[in-house]
């Protein structure tokens, strides 16, 4: 199966504040999350190996290790704002959340571990409307956040 990324359009707008290594890590994590969609919860630890990062983005080993580690260092501090319908009132609402509840880099294993918040999980899993879809290979060679945005 192709590595297809599905993103809620709110998630796309929120990702504008992420740097390139963070966006790339999120893209790989979305694919990993969709592979285990039925078992995915806000407690699920997703493991992304540097070798996957290297393969998808055609980077050297050291560059992939550094990018993955940098993404982990920054991602925990990132916030996002998104629009959704309040389930209690049915009115439009603006929510703020963090991308992850936990993130780590394991140097000896050359991998990142992420636990996404529930808010984020609902924006890229079980999408039914207002989403964008593309294969990861279509954007893997893009080298700036602006190019990925377009």
**Please, which pLDDT band fits residue 62 given cuts at 50, 70 and 90?**
very high
Residue 149 contacts by C-beta under 8 Å, 6 or more apart in sequence? 16
Average of per-residue pLDDT values in the chain: 79
- 79 forms beta bridges with 98
Q: Looking at residue 6, what is its pLDDT?
A: 46
Q: Looking at residue 67, what is its pLDDT?
A: 92
φ/ψ bin of 86: left (φ > 0), alpha (ψ from -120 to 50), beta (otherwise): beta
**Domains of the chain and any CATH numbers:** 4-149 (1.10.10.10)
Q: Looking at residue 47, what is its pLDDT?
A: 95
CA distance to 64, 108, 126, per residue, from 120 (Å): 24, 28, 11
Q: What is the pTM of this model?
A: 0.72
Question: pLDDT tens-digit profile of 81-127?
Answer: 877 788 899 898 888 889 899 999 999 999 999 999 988 887 765 44
For the ranges 15-29, 56-70, 97-111, the lowest mean pLDDT is seen at 15-29
Whether 145 contacts 25, CB under 8 Å: no
Q: Looking at residue 32, what is its pLDDT?
A: 86
CA distance to 57, 80, 114, 138, per residue, from 100 (Å): 22, 11, 7, 26
Question: pLDDT tens-digit profile of 23-39?
Answer: 889 888 888 887 787 78
Using N-to-C axis directions, what is the helix angle for 20-35 and 50-57, rounded to 10°?
110
Q: Looking at residue 82, what is its pLDDT?
A: 79
CB atoms within 10 A of CB 93: 13
Q: Looking at residue 104, what is its pLDDT?
A: 94
């Amino acid at each position: 199966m192709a590595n297809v990324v599905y993103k809620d359009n709110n998630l796309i707008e929120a990702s504008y504040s992420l740097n390139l290594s963070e966006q790339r890590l999120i893209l790989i994590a979305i694919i990993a999350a969709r592979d285990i969609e039925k078992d995915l919860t806000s407690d699920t630890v997703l493991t992304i190996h540097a070798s996957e990062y290297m393969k998808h983005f055609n980077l050297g080993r050291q560059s992939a290790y550094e990018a993955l580690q940098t993404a982990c260092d920054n991602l925990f501090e990132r916030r996002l704002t998104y629009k959704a319908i309040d389930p209690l009132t049915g009115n439009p609402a603006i929510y703020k959340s963090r991308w992850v509840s936990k993130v780590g880099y394991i140097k000896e294993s050359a991998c990142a571990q992420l636990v996404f918040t529930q808010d984020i999980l609902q924006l890229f899993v079980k999408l039914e409307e207002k989403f964008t879809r593309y294969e990861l290979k279509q954007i893997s060679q893009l080298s700036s956040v602006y190019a990925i945005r377009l």
